[in-house]
Amino acid sequence: MISAWLNQHWYAFSLTIRRFLSAPITNLLSILVMGIAISLPAGIFALMGNLPTVSGQISISPQISLFLKQHATQDDIDLIRTKLEEDKLVASYQFVSKDQALYQLQLDNGLTEAVHNLAHNPLPDAFVVETQDVRVDIIDQLRADMQTWPAIEHAQFDSAWAKRLEALTNFGRMLVLVLLTLLSIAIIAVMFNTIRLQILTRQTEIEVSKLVGATDAFIRRPFLYFGALQGFAGGVTAWLIITFVLQILSDELRVIAGLYAMNFQLHAIGYGDTISLLLFTTWLGWLGARASVASHLWQIEPR
């Protein structure tokens, strides 16, 4: 029973390869079309995956600055330190004492003269907090919480950068989604039509197979295999395109980065994403073939 099943699948598979080889140019072209179509959203997705890498380099991860009251005591500072230690949303923090801040001010701005003329240090003690999460609304909430802590004069969140980054990634995500949806539909349509033509040119074969006792599943199988195989090949093509393009872009970016004394390169698609990509395109091809078979095969009934 199992060997019969295996034999039938082997037959379907060999028939698929045969059908593919019977029109190699046409089939290669439609694989190329699928590959290019899917490489667009997948490529943008891959570029977006590189964003955190880039942002890590130029440090735009969101920060909250906590300025303490002038009369804050060492106990207040210790209390805030513990609170920051316990907060899960805090990734890291740094304490900047008022003396340190003043010293820094002298160094950075060359205000030594002016600072010396001050009667007392006007700067407050401060904490610089980096957050775990990058979502603006969550960080804003955290900032509001911190504002209510004792001995805090002012909690400040420089949200402009974070907001820009978030808006940009949201836009990118939406773009990927829209492109992916549209191009997936296009791929399904292409596959639908390919299989429709195959069914039409193989009318006799289908009819004769039915006459000598082929089940619907038996007749469907080679077409579904064909769709899945083309989808898979399309996915591989897309992967090659993206990898190639990222390589080129990475070389160019390194030149630019070098001019700004930065050092980074674009990462290729990871294993997980590669497998997802191949599974997805295989599924798309199968789906198009399935739809086509469902809407055309019943029309061929032997008479």
For other proteins, the binding residues (CB under 8 A) are 3-8, 11, 204-205, 207-216, 218, 302-303
Cα 104 from Cα 108, distance rounded (Å): 6
Contact (CB, 8 A) for 290 and 222: no
62, 200 contact by CB (below 8 A)? no
**Closest distance between other proteins and the C-beta of residue 19, in Å?**
10
* Closest approach of other proteins to the CB of residue 302, in Å: 6
CB of 224 to other proteins, least distance (A): 17
Provide the 8-state DSSP code for 149: S
Cβ-based nearer residue to other proteins, 133 or 207: 207
**CA distance linking residue 192 with residue 195, whole number of Å:** 5
CB neighbour class for 146 (10 Å; exposed up to 12, middle 13-18, buried from 19): buried
CA distance 34 to 188: 9
Comparing CB distances to other proteins, the nearer of 12 and 90 is 12
Nearest C-alpha neighbor of 285 from the set 215, 200, 211, 198: 198
Q: In the bound complex, what is the minimum distance in angstroms from residue 167's beta carbon to other proteins? A: 56
What is the DSSP code (8-state) at residue 298? Answer: G
The answer to whether 192 and 183 have CB atoms below 8 angstroms apart is no
Report how far residue 39's alpha carbon sits from residue 241's, in angstroms, rounded to the nearest whole number. 7
What is the helix (H) or strand (E) element at residue 267, kind and residue range?
none
Non-local CB neighbours of 275 within 8 Å, separated by 6+ positions: none
Q: Which is nearer to other proteins, 4 or 255 (CB)?
A: 4
Question: Whole-number minimum distance, CB 194 to other proteins, in Å?
Answer: 18
User: Could you tell me the smallest distance in angstroms from the CB atom of residue 197 to other proteins?
Assistant: 16
- Choice between 69 and 210, CB closer to other proteins: 210
Per 3-state DSSP, what percentage of the chain is helix, strand, and coil (rounded to 5)? 75, 10, 20
User: Closer CB to other proteins, residue 140 or residue 205?
Assistant: 205
Q: How far is the CB of 269 from other proteins (least distance, A)?
A: 40
Nearest Cα to 242, choosing from 272, 284, 270? 270
Q: Which of 212, 255 has the CB closer to other proteins? A: 212
Q: How far is the CB of 210 from other proteins (least distance, A)?
A: 7
What distance in Å separates the CA atoms of residue 111 and residue 7, rounded to the nearest whole number?
86
Residue (12 or 34) nearer to other proteins, CB: 12
> For residues 15 and 44, which CB has a smaller minimum distance to other proteins in the complex?
15
